Amino acid sequence: MNQIEVDVLIIGAGPAGSSAAALLHREGFKLLVVEKQKFPRFVIGESMLPSSMNWLKEAGLLDAVEEKKFMRKHGAVFLRGNETCNFDFSSQFTEGFKYTYQVPRAEFDQALADAVAARGVEILYQHGVTAVNFTPAAALATVEKPDGEKFAVKAKFILDCSGYGRVLPRLLNLEAPSNFPTRESLFTHITGDHRPPGREEGKIWICIHPQDAWIWIIPFSNGKTSVGVVATPEFFKKFPGAPDEQLRAILLSDPNAAKRLANMQFVMPAQRISGYSCAVKQLYGERFALVGNATEFLDPVFSSGVSLAFASANRAAKVLTRQLRGETVDWQVEYADYVMQGINTFRAYVAAWYDDKLPQIFFSANRNPDIMRQVCSVLAGYVWDKTNPYVAQADRALGLLAKILGGQSTAAARKTS
Ligand SMILES: Cc1cc2nc3c(=O)[nH]c(=O)nc-3n(C[C@H](O)[C@H](O)[C@H](O)COP(=O)(O)OP(=O)(O)OC[C@H]3O[C@@H](n4cnc5c(N)ncnc54)[C@H](O)[C@@H]3O)c2cc1C
């Protein structure tokens, strides 16, 4: 078998892979990016968070994104029946970008990968990593070409940015069960979305369906809109028929989605993903680190996936740079603990979403603007800012707030009855 030798092998050319490659290439390391699919390729995960813009800028990839004129996203609107909670990132608590983009991922991921390739990083498309072997001296990977022929890559280190491919978690038996129950998602792209005007046009809508599901509406600048529903498998059984029929019926049975989507036309067949929440036993090893979705994926409700992919890639690239220069690094403290801080903050919010604490907070009549600015910051992806009490003690702070606001609405209801 032929063998190529590099400093770092990066598996996958999604947001994690491209941004890690950009940072490591700038430091002068010899890289190889191996990507299983042919680009452009569809992948779900289209609503970014403002914190992503900071990571893109640091990787020198922001211009490649700005050029594409994607839809500007200024916030997130949560809707339940006739109740609304409208977050605008202009009011967020933490310093940093206050807008981001809604991105068709085929175009977005290709723009990032092309920008990295234009700097001289080699990306082999339609090449998949099929096996790995770690020795004290090197990391060895087997790569399969489109014609089935295989070759070996000898690297000092492997960054696994394979997303849903979860290459190293599978090959090294690092998978761990998620602490969230199995949910599934049915989604498509449509035209005919009746959008709100001006600054509101680009915000994501999250509609709470009357029967225990939620719907996303993500508008793109190309006239298409991404729509999808997330629920337990039991919910979907209530809507019989083929996936297109099922999705249409679900969307039109929510009052807020129905208002906006009455004239929708599907531009691709509905697709289903289930059981996507996953975790791992460890985030790094002697000559590898897991990055982006190859680590832990919680849930799509707060659009955190791409932001966490950029954040973990940024941190992994920095720690690895120092290691390859001969410095002593501590992957646990400098990488794993950092990444888990971001994941765990979102974990508290995802849990509070599904146990109804967050809806209770979002739709309370007594919301405190200062607290909502702090919550808004988390929804903007600033989940490492420990000066924000809704980051530092997310679980406790949300629990307490829901209790106070819940108590106030019960008292108000008693007064009016
Ligand atoms: C229903 C749903 C909705 C979501 N919505 C959002 C959202 O609105 N916003 C958001 O930020 N996130 C969202 N996400 C999460 C988002 O999809 C991911 O977090 C994000 O794509 C992670 O980026 P990544 O670079 O880690 O991986 P990916 O984008 O998955 O890229 C990994 C790449 O690795 C390649 N690969 C896989 N196996 C191999 C192999 N053996 N060899 C070589 N290459 C390989 C793949 O082909 C792929 O191109 C959503 C997820 C779900 C399930």
CATH number at residue 316: 3.50.50.60
Same domain, 241 and 373: no
Task: Pick 276 or 342 by higher pLDDT.
Answer: 342
Is 90 contained in some domain?
no
Burial of 114 (0-12, 13-18, 19+ CB in 10 A): middle
Distance CA 274, CA 187 (A): 12
CA of 44 to the centre of ligand 1 (A): 7
Q: Where are the beta strands (DSSP E) in 260-334?
A: 265-266, 271-274, 279-280, 284-285, 288-290
Report the number of distinct structural domains present in the chain. Answer: 3
Same domain, 21 and 167: yes
Single-letter code of the amino acid located at 174:
L
CA of 261 to the centre of ligand 1 (A): 27
Distance CA 66, CA 14 (A): 18
Is 61 contained in some domain?
yes
Same domain, 261 and 195: yes
Query: Which domain-ending residue is among 274, 289, 320?
Result: 274
Same domain, 131 and 215: no
Is 341 contained in some domain?
yes
Same domain, 300 and 324: yes
* Distant-in-sequence contacts of 333-342, Cβ < 8 A, 24+ apart: 335/283, 335/284, 335/289, 336/282, 336/283, 336/284, 338/384, 339/283, 339/295, 339/308, 339/311, 339/312, 339/315, 340/283, 341/383, 341/384, 342/304, 342/308, 342/311, 342/312, 342/383, 342/384
CA of 159 to the centre of ligand 1 (A): 15
Confidence grade of residue 409 (pLDDT, cut at 50, 70, 90): low
Same domain, 128 and 268: no
CA of 277 to the centre of ligand 1 (A): 12
Average pLDDT of span 160-170: 97
CATH number at residue 235: 3.30.9.100
276 CA closest ligand 1 atom index = 53
Same domain, 63 and 127: yes
Question: Which pLDDT tens digit goes with each residue over 122-150?
Answer: 999 999 999 999 999 999 999 999 999 99
Same domain, 288 and 157: yes
Same domain, 169 and 205: no
Same domain, 197 and 166: no
Q: Give the domain extent around 212.
A: 184-274
Same domain, 237 and 376: no
Same domain, 196 and 250: yes
Is 252 contained in some domain?
yes
Q: For the chain, give the percent of residues with pLDDT over 90.
A: 96
Asked whether residue 413 carries a pLDDT value surpassing 60, the answer given is no
Ligand 1 neighbourhood includes 106 CB (under 6 angstroms): no
Asked whether residue 170 carries a pLDDT value surpassing 80, the answer given is yes
Ligand 1 neighbourhood includes 169 CB (under 6 angstroms): no
Query: Which domain-ending residue is among 219, 253, 274?
Result: 274
Is 82 contained in some domain?
no
For a ligand 1 pocket test, name from 293, 301, 308, 339 the mutation site with the most ligand atoms within 8 angstroms of its C-beta: 293
Report DSSP letters for 134-152, one per residue. E-SS-EEEEEE-TTS-EEE
